[in-house]
């Protein structure tokens, strides 16, 4: 009677492959996001590099990469949300050769810059979200494909994709729901070492 309650070896093997597929799908999505989860987009007169990476804390890094056209270089990182995603938005260039005083003022402190990116970068963030979704999908598919090769079962590919997208989606929703941009109000930019050495 006790032996009849045990699952057949073949079913246990299938469950093992499914668990492995899910784990590799999640791992593949996170690795892909860390490696390719970035892009540069126009936000008003600025070119902003946006990136999302897996992390141990929910942080946001904002800054200006290069001193140019009246901008001062500097960056800051603060804990802004719950979860395991590190968000980054850095001005890496400008459109044209000149900026107005108002545009320069938009990069004067972390909170103002983050607000500018949020308010003026809705189209850019939408494009970045689509890119990130495709990256995560491909990473999860790659993890599932590794298991699909073992048994030549294409459904493992889709299972890996789904697992990766679901986990990253949960992390994204958690970050979105708990995000507090006001935590950047007390922050100030630090000058990069490279800038200090040039003085």
pLDDT tens string 2-47: 545 555 656 656 677 788 888 999 999 999 999 999 999 999 999 9
Q: Say how many C-beta atoms besides its own lie within 10 A of residue 122's C-beta.
A: 11
Quick check: is 198 in a domain? no
Consecutive 10-residue averages of pLDDT for the chain (199 residues): 54 73 92 96 95 96 87 93 96 88 92 95 96 95 81 79 94 96 92 46
Quick check: is 132 in a domain? yes
Quick check: is 3 in a domain? no
Phi-psi region of 126 (alpha: psi -120 to 50; beta: other; left: phi over 0): alpha
Quick check: is 101 in a domain? yes
**Full domain range(s) for residue 167:** 19-189
Quick check: is 11 in a domain? no
Question: What angle do the packed helices 155-178 and 9-36 form, to 10 degrees?
Answer: 50
Quick check: is 95 in a domain? yes
pTM score of the predicted model: 0.84
How many domains is the chain built from? Answer: 1
Element holding 53 (H helix, E strand): strand 46-54
Quick check: is 9 in a domain? no
Quick check: is 147 in a domain? yes
């Amino acid at each position: 009677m006790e032996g009849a309650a045990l699952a057949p070896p073949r079913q246990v093997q299938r469950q093992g492959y499914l668990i492995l597929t899910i784990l590799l799908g999640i791992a593949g999505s996170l690795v892909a996001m860390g490696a390719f989860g970035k892009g540069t987009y126009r936000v008003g007169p600025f070119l902003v590099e946006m990136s999302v990476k897996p992390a141990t804390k929910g942080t946001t890094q904002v800054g200006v990469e290069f001193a140019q056209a009246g901008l001062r270089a500097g960056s800051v990182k603060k804990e802004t949300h719950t979860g395991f995603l590190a968000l980054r938005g850095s001005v890496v260039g400008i459109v044209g050769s000149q900026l107005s005083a108002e545009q320069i003022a938009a990069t004067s402190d972390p909170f103002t810059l983050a607000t500018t990116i949020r308010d003026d970068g809705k189209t850019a963030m939408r494009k970045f979200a689509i890119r990130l979704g495709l990256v995560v999908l491909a990473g999860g598919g790659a993890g599932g494909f590794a298991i699909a090769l073992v048994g030549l079962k294409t459904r493992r590919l889709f299972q890996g994709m789904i697992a990766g997208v679901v986990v990253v989606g949960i992390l994204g929703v958690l970050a979105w729901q708990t995000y507090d941009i006001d935590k950047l109000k007390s922050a100030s930019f630090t000058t990069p070492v490279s800038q200090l050495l040039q003085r």
